[in-house]
Structure formats: structure tokens, C-alpha cells
Amino acid sequence: GENVEQHPSTLSVQEGDSAVIKCTYSDSASNYFPWYKQELGKRPQLIIDIRSNVGEKKDQRIAVTLNKTAKHFSLHITETQPEDSAVYFCAATLSGNTPLVFGKGTRLSVIA
């Protein structure tokens, strides 16, 4: 089955700097890769996703890149703000009827 590894487990950045979180997956058939943000005490919220027919996707200050050959994808947050502080989860699946497999999460702290 699919296995998703996520690094780093914790990340601290200065406000205004960029943050990068990386994930690798094992099943080359996976073709849907979402990212979730979870604030303290809240539910995970979908923030961006990418499908395997796309190499990069941007939404304002966040972007996701996908390298299918290397089987890894990354979340990039630019101009970080204190409200970006949260736990971020990556996931992968063969879209269709296969459940998402999640990484273990990255705790991002943005220091003002």
C-alpha cells in the first residue's frame, strides 16, 4: 500500500521568510496530493491540492510542486505570517475510491 513520509516534523521561520515542507510517496500510481492545515484545537482544512498531470500549482502565498519521477511533492509558503503557524499534513492517493494516506505532519511556527 501507499506510504507517505513528511519532513521536517517541526519548522521555525522568521515572519516574512519562506517555509518549505517536503513529502515522498511510495506508490507510483498515486495521482492526487492534497495539503491540509490544522490550527490548534481545530479540524484539518484543505488548503491546496495537485494532481499528477500538473507540475506546480499556486494560490496566493502558497504553492505545491510535484515531481512524479522522484515521487515527491512539496508545499511552499512565501512571506510567512504568524497566522500561518499550524500543523500541516500532506497526503496521497490514487483518486477514485482509495482513501487518502497522510504524512505524520509538520508543526510550523512563524516567529514575529
Partner 1 sequence: DAGITQSPRHKVTETGTPVTLRCHQTENHRYMYWYRQDPGHGLRLIHYSYGVKDTDKGEVSDGYSVSRSKTEDFLLTLESATSSQTSVYFCAISDFGGRTSEQYFGPGTRLTVT
Binding to partner 1 (CB under 8 A) within 80-109 occurs at 89, 93, 95-97, 99-105
For residue 68, the minimal CB distance to partner 1 (Å) is 17
CA nearest neighbour of 33 among 82, 78, 8, 66: 66
- Give the range of 10-18, 38-46, 59-67, 78-86 binding partner 1 by CB under 8 A: 38-46
First and final C-alpha spacing in the chain: 41
Residue matched to cell numbers 515531481:
67
Nearer to partner 1, 31 or 78 (CB): 31
Residues 45-84 that bind partner 1 (CB under 8 A): 45-46, 49
In sequence order, what E strands does 1-112 have?
4-7, 10-14, 19-25, 32-38, 45-51, 56-59, 62-67, 72-77, 86-92, 101-102, 106-111
| Least distance in angstroms from the C-beta of 87 to partner 1 | 9
Nine cell digits for residue 45: 482544512
- The residue ranges that bind partner 1 (CB under 8 A) are 6, 32, 34, 36, 42-46, 49, 89, 93, 95-97, 99-105
